[in-house]
Amino acid sequence: MQGDIRRLRRLLRLAMHILLGLMACLVLAAAAKLRPAGAYPRQQAITRRWAAKLCRILALEIHIHGKANTDSTLFVANHISWLDIAVLQGLLDTRFVAKHEVGEWPVFGIMAHCAGTLFMKRGDHRTTARVADQLTHELSQQRNVLFFPEGTSSDGQGVQRFHARLFQGAVRAHAQVQAVAICYPHPCGSNPLVPFVGDDDLLRHLWPLLRESAVEVRVSFCTPIPARDWQRRGLAELTRAQIIDQLTYPEEQHKKAA
C-alpha cells in the first residue's frame, strides 16, 4: 500500500518535471535565437540541473568514486539503462552521442535535441565520420562529449565489445579519454529492475522502479588517458578493460594511491 502511494506521488512529480523540461526547452531555443553567444553554458547548466532533479525524483542514491575530468574530455561509459543517461548528465557538463532514433522519440527526442545531443545512424559510416568530426570540434573547444561505445545497453552482467570508430575524434583532438564504469549494486549482485534492453517499453520499465524506496548507483571515474599516445582500437580496448576492472574489483580501486 505504502509502495503504491509512493508510486503515485512519484508519477505526478515526474509528469510535472517533464513538463517543466519541455518548457525549459522552449525558453532555451528562444534564448539561443536571441543571444547565441552564451547559449552553450546556459544549455549545459540547465540540462545538468534538470537531470540531477530527475535522479532525485527517482530516488537514485548515487555513489561516486574517482574524479571526473572537467574539460576537453571524451567520456566513455558502459550502458545498462536509460537511467545511465540521467545519472551521468546530472554529474557532468557534457554532450551525448545517441542513435538517431532517439531524436524521433516523442517527448525525449525534443529534449535530446535541446541538450545538444549528437545523433548518429548505426552502421552508416558516412554519418559516423561526421559525428567523429563534430566530436573533434567539440573537444577542441574545451567541451566534453560522452558516448556509450557498446552501442547498445547490456543486461549489466558483462561489458560488450567497444566500437572504436568514434574514438578517432579524441585522437585527432589530442583530448583525454576517461572511462566511466556505472553499475547498480543490489543484494543479489546487480539490480534486476534496472537493465533496459532492446525494445522494452519505457513505462513498463519505469513502473516497478517507481515503487522502490531507493535505487543504489555506483559511478567510478577511471584514470584519464591522453588519446594522442594511442590508436582508436587501442583506446577502445583499454577503456573497456578499465571499466571491467572497476566492475570486477570495485572495493580495492583506490588502494594504490593513498
Binding site for other proteins (CB under 8 A): 67, 222-226, 229-231, 233-234, 237-238, 241-242, 245, 248-249, 252, 255-258
Nearer to other proteins, 70 or 231 (CB): 231
Residue 179 beta carbon to other proteins: minimum distance, rounded to whole angstroms: 10
Distance separating alpha carbons of residues 104 and 165, to the nearest angstrom: 24
Alpha carbon 50 to chain centroid, angstroms: 14
Q: In this structure, what C-alpha cell is assigned to residue 197?
A: 534492453
Residue 241 beta carbon to other proteins: minimum distance, rounded to whole angstroms: 4
Q: Which of 61, 60, 62, 52 is nearest to 17 (CA)?
A: 52
Nearer to other proteins, 67 or 99 (CB): 67
Q: How many CB atoms lie within 10 A of CB 4?
A: 10
Residue 117 beta carbon to other proteins: minimum distance, rounded to whole angstroms: 29
Residue 59 beta carbon to other proteins: minimum distance, rounded to whole angstroms: 31
Nearer to other proteins, 195 or 224 (CB): 224
Nearer to other proteins, 33 or 256 (CB): 256
E strand intervals along the chain: 60-65, 73-77, 95-99, 118-120, 145-147, 176-183, 185-186, 189-190, 215-221, 225-226
Residue 255 beta carbon to other proteins: minimum distance, rounded to whole angstroms: 6
* Burial status of residue 250 (CB atoms within 10 A of its CB: 0-12, 13-18, 19 or more): middle
Nearer to other proteins, 124 or 229 (CB): 229
Q: Which residues pair with 189 in a beta bridge?
A: 186
